Amino acid sequence: MSFIDTALKEAQQTLENTMADELFLSSLQKAIDVLIKTFQNDGRVMSCGNGGSLCDSMHFAEELTGRYRKNRKPLGATAIMDPSHISCVANDFGYEYIFSRFVEGWAREGDTLLAISTSGNSENVIKACEAAKDKNVHTIGLLGKDGGKLKAMVDTAIIVPSLVTDRIQEIHIKCIHIMIEGVERELFPENYSSN
């Protein structure tokens, strides 16, 4: 059982380190503000990532189009994860273009892209951010380690202060839930009137 105790203590320490990181906290608040503005201006939000980060990007989008805590109108969000799109683009152009081609075809000025990468160096996520910049789409990077290449590329970099991928991912899901709650509290305050 010792490894279980160790894993929980590591997770607790990562959370404590994150809570003490002022830059992380201010970046998270900035991301919430950007998402609120995007939805207030009838913009849409896209999200992308690889592996577990793709699963997180899907979770982020479905909580916005569906519901989080209480019923409310859906918000325009989508994860870039359609298998036919991914396999088509990977086959015809290369795997590094699977997200950027979607952004090029779908994004409008005023939209927002949530780019998730624990290393900050995923080539296909980098290309998605480059495409977003070309479309005047705000970019939020949900990152880890030292932020990688994406740290300097995105408009808002949320960097989890950890070098361990699974610890980073655990904080990423907390960030996703906090961002969604922040959006809901502003756009649907009636859902939080008793909190």
| Mean pLDDT, the chain cut into blocks of 10 residues (195 residues total) | 92 97 98 98 98 98 96 97 98 98 98 98 98 98 98 98 97 98 97 81
Q: What are phi and psi of 75, to 5 degrees?
A: -110, 145
87 Cβ partners below 8 Å, 6+ apart? none
Residue 195: predicted pLDDT: 55
Tokens linked to 21: 């990181």
Residue 29: predicted pLDDT: 98
User: What pTM did the predictor assign?
Assistant: 0.96
* CATH number for the domain formed by residue range(s) 2-190: 3.40.50.10490
Residues in the chain: 195
Q: What distance, in Å, lies between the first and last C-alpha atoms of the chain?
A: 38
127 Cβ partners below 8 Å, 6+ apart? 96, 97, 99, 100
Residue ranges of domains in the chain: 2-190
Tokens linked to 96: 């590094």
Residue 194: predicted pLDDT: 74
Radius of gyration of the chain (CA): 17
Q: Within 13 Å and on the Cβ side, how many CA atoms surround 70?
A: 12
- Rounded-to-integer distance, Cα 140 and Cα 47, Å: 9
- Rounded-to-integer distance, Cα 194 and Cα 190, Å: 8
- Rounded-to-integer distance, Cα 103 and Cα 121, Å: 18
Matching residue, tokens 């970099």: 157
